[in-house]
Structure 1
């Protein structure tokens, strides 16, 4: 051995011992890996092997974790008999006594009905909310009360503050107004829908006449999306009460409508029922025949929201009300388009009528 190296070893005994320990550790790690994992953690310190732990139960009181079997939620033609939960949703800018009376008169089990409202933060909205509060207190103090009632307030209400029906339906305000309505509808449904909701009924607050069997009649069809026909009672020039079509948002697409859409900039929308945008679509409003069965169904490409029944799974799958141009459609008509893209076919009931308030 080199004398200098021997001199180094003799004078550095600690270094020699450390080198030997390091060499032995390397051999131990590489040739006895199982023993290493049992007795050392990743930092090299000694640990005791862990005992197998029992799974923590998730359904004990106070655990804050709930488990729901979503596959057990059914929406069927026997909704009333099965007491399938229905969520009735209403964007409420004005309160009508007749609208509330129709809700209370529904023959569907009230214990299976939840209500949801979104009210604008406007002077008119405050008045509507005060009337709604009174009606709720009276109804919910009775034996036949609704299972749950939720009220939201909407802040983006600039376009919903019009005082007249004519202003609200002016073509130039439709995109902005209906965009705000779409935001309100989305906020309402995704705030109030529950794990056990089977059906969602969109019912406008100015629907002042609807059958007590509305829910049974519409769920009977067992469609993913189905909409009633909305008419309006009025007094004609001879002083005779008559009826006329009101909602033109339920329709079947036409070639002219598709050509019109293809010619528009991406952000522009088509609004049905205006001479300035003639689409020549087949409107459900004009398919009504009082002499035919009220349960006749027709497939649709666009739907209105005055009395629109939707299986909850359609909303859960992501179908919402676009507040932007979606294939040149917006709000309820955009919802129908989105639902179709998801594989759901909307239907309409041309002979099943609800009636809109006539200002």
Structure 2
């Protein structure tokens, strides 16, 4: 009876089953855990860092990106930009898209492979319309022959609201100027800081309502080789069936003792503005210095500048000259920019006899 139980306990079938069970157990023990179970455990135990760490930092590229070496001392902005193949950045705050502006831009005769464009569009219904018109115009050019394409185009959408309406009357009301000009300065700075790369030699600020200028606008301004220079901005209009023209931009001026004394009596956050009877500054406005028979390259020193067609050597912006969004010596936006340029040791200039024309609403 005892021998029979011993034979049952050690039968070949039971030994085989036990061996297979042992091998399965050992196989299970030595297998690595599955990816899904591992990830689940890590996600439970580790803090969520996705909001604090850029995705690129968590997933390094398989191939290291190139390292650029740029010698800024070799960058030139001279009186002969075409000869030296100097790159131009044209920047436009775009509240409305005028086809006349675009056609005028296309007529500029500087080689397009040396031109980059930058636009910033407000978060408004009008901005939606403007960006649609701009994109369609760009599509036709950038999908055309390589010779006619611009080197680079950047379109920004503002991340802040426009404080006032966009009709001409609303834009030019005195009570709206501080908020309006501050928002314009903010938009200009956003556009500038985003698009100014190390290879740019010149920056041309060209408003979206400049609809007529000489095709050689950039070269004509650059030939003066000034750190900051601005032409005179006029406007064509019809009166009694005849075309006439009148000064439009009053932000380019030479300062006056009257204006300086007025500034001394103002509160710290007040701003001085031109073209308003409530603020008689008696400055010498470039708009009224035009000599119809005079040389179009006649220069005048300026203390304030407008931004309708403003050429700046890129090194001036890199020095720190930006558009104040706050009262800077009682000046703001482009006029504050001119003041900042002078505080940095540079001199703005104007060309009273050289005209560009503003859209007539």
TM-score, normalising length from structure 2?
A: 0.81
- Asked if 1:227 corresponds to 2:230, the answer is yes
Q: Which residue of 2 aligns with 1:83?
A: 85
Q: Which residue of 1 aligns with 2:6?
A: none
Could you list the structure 1 runs, at least 4 aligned residues long, displaced by more than 4 angstroms after superposition.
Answer: none
- Asked if 1:108 corresponds to 2:110, the answer is yes
* Pair 1:318–1:279, CA change in 2 (3 A): same
**Superposition deviation, residue 163 in structure 1:** 3.9
**Superposition deviation, residue 107 in structure 1:** 0.5
1:150 pairs with one of 145, 150, 154: 154
Q: Which residue of 2 aligns with 1:315?
A: 317
Q: Which residue of 2 aligns with 1:124?
A: 126
Q: Which residue of 1 aligns with 2:188?
A: 185
- Asked if 1:249 corresponds to 2:260, the answer is no
| Aligned partner of residue 293 in structure 2, secondary structure | coil
User: What is the total number of aligned residue pairs between the two structures?
Assistant: 297
**Superposition deviation, residue 185 in structure 1:** 0.2
**Superposition deviation, residue 102 in structure 1:** 1.2
Deviations 1:290-340, CA, capped at 9 Å, x for gaps: 100100010000000000000000000000000000000000000000010
Instruction: Answer whether contact 2:205 2:309 (CA < 8 A) is retained.
Output: yes
Instruction: Answer whether contact 1:86 1:198 (CA < 8 A) is retained.
Output: yes
1:265 pairs with one of 264, 267, 290: 267
Instruction: Answer whether contact 1:83 1:109 (CA < 8 A) is retained.
Output: no
| Aligned partner of residue 79 in structure 2, secondary structure | coil
Q: Which residue of 2 aligns with 1:66?
A: 68
Q: Which residue of 2 aligns with 1:344?
A: 346
Separation in 2 of the partners of 1:71 and 1:319? 19
**Superposition deviation, residue 63 in structure 1:** 4.8
2:281 pairs with one of 270, 279, 282: 279
- Asked if 1:167 corresponds to 2:161, the answer is no
| Aligned partner of residue 111 in structure 1, secondary structure | helix
Separation in 1 of the partners of 2:92 and 2:311? 12
Separation in 1 of the partners of 2:167 and 2:154? 27
Separation in 2 of the partners of 1:205 and 1:344? 27
Instruction: Answer whether contact 1:77 1:222 (CA < 8 A) is retained.
Output: yes
| Aligned partner of residue 307 in structure 2, secondary structure | coil
Stretches of structure 2 lacking an aligned partner (at least 5 in a row): 1-62
Instruction: Answer whether contact 2:122 2:162 (CA < 8 A) is retained.
Output: no
Separation in 1 of the partners of 2:265 and 2:111? 49
TM alignment of 1:199-210, pairs within 5 A:
199-210=202-213
**Superposition deviation, residue 62 in structure 1:** 2.8
**Superposition deviation, residue 106 in structure 1:** 0.9
Separation in 2 of the partners of 1:62 and 1:72? 27
| Aligned partner of residue 249 in structure 1, secondary structure | coil
Instruction: Answer whether contact 1:235 1:241 (CA < 8 A) is retained.
Output: yes
Separation in 1 of the partners of 2:156 and 2:317? 19
**Superposition deviation, residue 342 in structure 1:** 0.2
Q: Which residue of 2 aligns with 1:356?
A: 358
Deviations 1:45-65, CA, capped at 9 Å, x for gaps: xxxxxxxxxxxxxxxx83543
* Pair 1:321–1:163, CA change in 2 (3 A): closer
Stretches of structure 1 lacking an aligned partner (at least 5 in a row): 1-60
Q: Which residue of 2 aligns with 1:47?
A: none
| Aligned partner of residue 90 in structure 2, secondary structure | strand
1:214 pairs with one of 200, 207, 217: 217
Separation in 1 of the partners of 2:123 and 2:218? 30
TM-score, normalising length from structure 1?
A: 0.81
Instruction: Answer whether contact 1:226 1:348 (CA < 8 A) is retained.
Output: yes
Q: Which residue of 2 aligns with 1:50?
A: none
**Superposition deviation, residue 158 in structure 1:** 2.7
Separation in 2 of the partners of 1:217 and 1:311? 14
Instruction: Answer whether contact 1:75 1:311 (CA < 8 A) is retained.
Output: yes
